[in-house]
Amino acid sequence: MRFIKKFFLPLQHKIKNNMNKILIIASVFVLLSASACNSKGGNKEEDPAAVSSGKTETSMSIAGEGTVVHLTAEQFRDKVWDYKANPGQWVYKGDLPCLIDFYADWCRPCKMVAPIMDELAAEYKGKIRIYKIDTEAERELAGVFNIRTIPAVLFVPKNGQPQMSVGALPKPTFIQAINDVLLVK
From residue 18, alpha-carbon distances to 23, 29, 112, 155, 163 in Å are 9, 17, 34, 46, 45
Choosing from 36, 60, 100, 110, which is the catalytic residue?
110
3-state SS assignment for residue 161: coil
Choosing from 100, 107, 117, 154, which is the catalytic residue?
107
Which DSSP state fits 63? Answer: -
37: annotated active-site residue: no
- DSSP bridge partners of 163: 155
107: annotated active-site residue: yes
Number of other residues whose CB lies within 10 A of the CB of residue 149: 16
Label the pairing between strands 68-70 and 129-134.
parallel
**DSSP notation for 86-129:** STTS-----SS-EEEEEE-TT-HHHHHHHHHHHHHHHHTTTT-E
Q: Which residues belong to the active site?
A: 107, 110
